[in-house]
Amino acid sequence: MVDHIEKKIIKSNSTWIFIGSSFGGLVSTLVTQRQPKLIRSLVLLAPALNPLELWTSKINVEQWKKDGFMNFFNQNTQRDESIDYGFLLDLQTYSSYPVVTTCPITIIHGIHDDVVPIQASREYMKKIRLLNKHSISLIEVDDDHYLRKDETLNTIKKVIRDFH
């Protein structure tokens, strides 16, 4: 996924504002690390920036390895999806909390998120603030991982408009 998006943005010959939710937040930060001159800003929605910690704390990794796949419930499709063990191996090639110091970052995260705890975004913000010459902000909203409340959606829209 990271390679695919990277190739697309290079071909576009444009600069981008990346908006990524959950694993899309991770992908956005990884692409930004690789192509910092092409990304103007990041908007991360409940980003899964520490996927190995998240997944390995909730699942039986040995069983996944043995079976070669594991089923996970997908909130968007409302059904179980089979994920190959190779996905976990691929995740191991990336660092947790990828460092981005080349553009402004806004994180919007629900305080009731039980998929990616908000503490992960708080830790990321602290880490980036120590290193970053650009701004990073965390907007904590009264919502869960899926950020579907009207007030949250209005906040997201405002952040995106402000970056435009």
Q: Tell me: the pLDDT tens digits for 56-97?
A: 888 899 999 999 999 988 877 889 999 999 989 988 888 889
Q: What is the domain-level CATH number for residue 45?
A: 3.40.50.1820
What's the sign of the alpha-carbon dihedral 59, 60, 61, 66? negative
Residue with more model confidence, 93 or 156: 156
Q: Encode pLDDT of 83-136 as tens digits.
A: 999 989 988 888 889 998 899 999 999 999 999 999 999 999 999 998 867 789
Judge residue 139's burial from the number of C-beta atoms within 10 Å of its C-beta, 0-12 exposed, 13-18 middle, 19 or more buried.
middle
Percent of the chain, pLDDT > 90?
73
- Beta-sheet pairing, 39-45 with 105-110: parallel
Domain that holds residue 109: 2-50+96-163
Does the pLDDT at position 39 exceed 90? Answer: yes
Q: Is the pLDDT confidence value at 164 over 70? A: no
Is residue 49 classed exposed, middle or buried when 0-12, 13-18 and 19+ CB atoms within 10 A define those classes? buried
Q: Is residue 59 part of a domain?
A: no
Residue 28: inside a domain: yes
Rounded CA-CA distance 64/74 in Å is: 17
Which residue in 124, 129, 90, 105 sits closest to 36, CA to CA?
A: 105
pLDDT recorded at residue 75: 75
SS3 label, residue 146: coil
Q: Domain count for the chain, please give it.
A: 1
pLDDT digits (tens, 9 = 90+) for 40-53: 999 999 999 998 88
